[in-house]
Amino acid sequence: MHYMALTKTDYTMRCKNCGWENPNGLTKCEKCNTPLAGAVNNQPAYGTVPEAPQAAQNLNKTVFEAEVFPQAAPAANACPNCGYPMRPGVTDCPNCHQQAAQPAAPQPAPRPAAPAPQQVKATPMSGTVNPWVQVAPASKCSLIPVEQQGVETPATLNIKGDAHELNRANLDPENQTITSKVQAQLTCEDGQWYIQDKSAQHTTFIYAGEKTALKEGAVILMGNRQLVFHID
């Protein structure tokens, strides 16, 4: 241990009232203003006092985190300009205030490739016929002329298919009240028969300005010729 010399000015006077250590030569306590008459002079042992430890002489030294917490301090990166240690992730040097190299940005992980779509091979059809898919039979109906007194009755018109045009030639060739072009259109949709007038004189009855459902036994007047509708 080292010692240094002590001067007279290092003596103090302790106040009996508050215990404050006052410099030598005062008459009143600088703490509580109590007279220092009879105060105790405190002085260290005559001769020398211990020197301050070495650590106290280095209070003005820069202290690094790694010196205080050697286990917890992360690895530092040195500034490329001045060599000052820098914490990871810091871009500006706290010593020279120069910008250090930028840390490399993390690269995103590559996205997995989408699986290739599976190709389904078509199975060739065998010779077995699907019982649920069958061709519907052709629609059939007939138009039977109503007998009139003194007039020859034409033959019954048998119709096969879902659409048929009616005119003078296929209804009553001698009847001038029926047009020779298209008197009416007869159609079958989902098993239901419809008739629609197509004549210029609008002489088809049941008046069929729109599609009209036909029922068994319905009487149709075309011109002055009456016909009974019959489903075969």
What's the whole-model pTM score? Answer: 0.37
68, part of any domain: yes
State both tokens at 69: 């917490």
Q: What pLDDT digit, counting tens, does each position of 130-181 carry?
A: 777 666 678 999 999 999 888 899 999 999 999 999 999 999 999 999 999 9
Residues 86 and 39 in one domain: no
134, part of any domain: no
117, part of any domain: no
pLDDT at res. 94: 78
202, part of any domain: yes
Q: Quick one: pLDDT band at residue 59, thresholds 50, 70, 90?
A: low
| Cα separation, 16 vs 32, whole angstroms | 10
pLDDT at res. 75: 47
More confidently predicted of 191 and 48: 191
pLDDT at res. 7: 47
Whether 41 has a pLDDT exceeding 80, the answer reads no
110, part of any domain: no
| Cα separation, 184 vs 179, whole angstroms | 9
pLDDT at res. 60: 56
Residues 144 and 222 in one domain: yes
* Domains of the chain: total: 3
State both tokens at 129: 């016929």
Report the CATH number that the domain containing residue 148 is assigned in CATH: 2.60.200.20
State both tokens at 49: 């006092």
Kindly state the average pLDDT of the residues 45-52. 46
Residues 163 and 199 in one domain: yes
222, part of any domain: yes
Phi, then psi, of 54 in degrees rounded to 5: -60, -35
- The whole domain housing 215 covers 140-230
Amino acid letter, 15: C
226, part of any domain: yes
Residues 216 and 159 in one domain: yes
Kindly state the average pLDDT of the residues 27-54. 64
Residues 25 and 69 in one domain: no
94, part of any domain: yes
Whether 188 has a pLDDT exceeding 90, the answer reads yes
Residues 148 and 226 in one domain: yes
Interacting residues of 175 by C-beta distance below 8 A, sequence separation 6+: 154, 168, 223, 224, 225
Residues 84 and 48 in one domain: no
Token pair 């490329």 is found at 80
State both tokens at 185: 């259109």
Kindly state the average pLDDT of the residues 59-86. 63
| Cα separation, 13 vs 197, whole angstroms | 137
Short-list 193, 208, 197, CA closest to 141 = 193
Q: What pLDDT digit, counting tens, does each position of 88-135 carry?
A: 777 788 788 787 665 556 677 788 887 777 776 766 666 676 777 666
Strands 225-230 and 204-205: unpaired
List 41's β-bridge partners, or say none: 13
Across the chain, the runs of DSSP E, i.e. the strands, are 3-5, 12-14, 21-23, 40-42, 48-50, 77-78, 85-86, 140-145, 157-160, 163-166, 184-189, 192-197, 204-205, 212-213, 219-222, 225-230
Residues 147 and 217 in one domain: yes
pLDDT at res. 2: 47
pLDDT at res. 82: 82
pLDDT at res. 143: 94
